[in-house]
Amino acid sequence: MSKCDHSVFYRKSTFGSILLLMYVDDIVITGSDYAGISSLKSFLHTRFQMKDLGPLRYFLGVEVNRNKKGIFLSQRKYILDLLADTAKLGAKPCSTPMVPNVYLMTDDSDPFDDPEKYRRLVGKLNYLTVTRPDIAFAVSVVSQFMSTLTIKQRSTTGYCVFVGGNLVSWRSKKQSVVSRSSAESEYRAMS
């Protein structure tokens, strides 16, 4: 068993290595010791009722595609489902994951209509950083508002996050447009 992750098991031998990843009732077995992998599958099959689904194609929201260059991991289906859930499938692409120079602060205005929906969305975006580290900063920014769930917007352009070249956005009900210098002055006054 791995010391870092108790759902990962590995074995090294002179013939190669075997990795076993287990999540609830799903198992992924891979490695370079093909005879060892076959033996492990036979052993597990005698102990548990299980099916060999063949080469890995999809696991925990991550798609696995193989070609001559190697293995490509993506969350394309996960992103499409996320965009469908947020009614953003028709959004236009953008080159940046977050609008620059946005200053967000907690606000005393009315909270979002459905705080749980916001938390679920942020959680899904956080999981998306597995294959999209370029959105990690934007996700960390919106994660800061999970407990208060009211956001005062400090931007002339609005606030949104772009995922996979598509817009995933949400806005607070109350928006105010303030210059950077006055926002910094207000922040210092609040401190």
| Secondary structure, 3-state, the chain | CCCCCCCEEEEEECCEEEEEEEECCEEEEEECCHHHHHHHHHHHHHHCCCCCCCCCCEECCEEEEEECCEEEEECHHHHHHHHHHCCCCCCCCCCCCECCCCEEEECCCCCCCCHHHHHHHHHHHHHHCCCCHHHHHHHHHHHCCCCCCCEEEECCCCCCEEECCEEECCCCCCEECCCHHHHHHHHHHHC
Domain assignment present for 79? no
Q: Which residues pair with 31 in a beta bridge?
A: 18
Domain assignment present for 131? yes
Q: Are residues 17 and 95 in the same domain?
A: no
Q: Are 50 and 29 contacting, i.e. CB atoms less than 8 angstroms apart?
A: no
Q: Are residues 24 and 102 in the same domain?
A: no
Q: Are residues 112 and 30 in the same domain?
A: no
Domain assignment present for 159? yes
Q: Are residues 96 and 185 in the same domain?
A: yes
Q: Are residues 92 and 138 in the same domain?
A: yes
Q: Are residues 41 and 104 in the same domain?
A: no
State the total domains in the chain.
2
Q: Are residues 186 and 101 in the same domain?
A: yes
Where in the sequence is the domain holding 137, given as residue range(s)? 88-190
pLDDT tens profile 41-94: 999 999 988 888 888 898 888 899 989 999 888 899 998 998 898 888 888 877
Q: Are residues 130 and 177 in the same domain?
A: yes
Q: Are residues 39 and 99 in the same domain?
A: no
pLDDT tens profile 159-173: 444 444 444 444 433
Residue 104, pLDDT > 90, answer: no
Q: Are residues 15 and 100 in the same domain?
A: no
Q: Are residues 48 and 95 in the same domain?
A: no
Task: Tell me the pairing of strands 175-176 and 151-154.
Answer: parallel
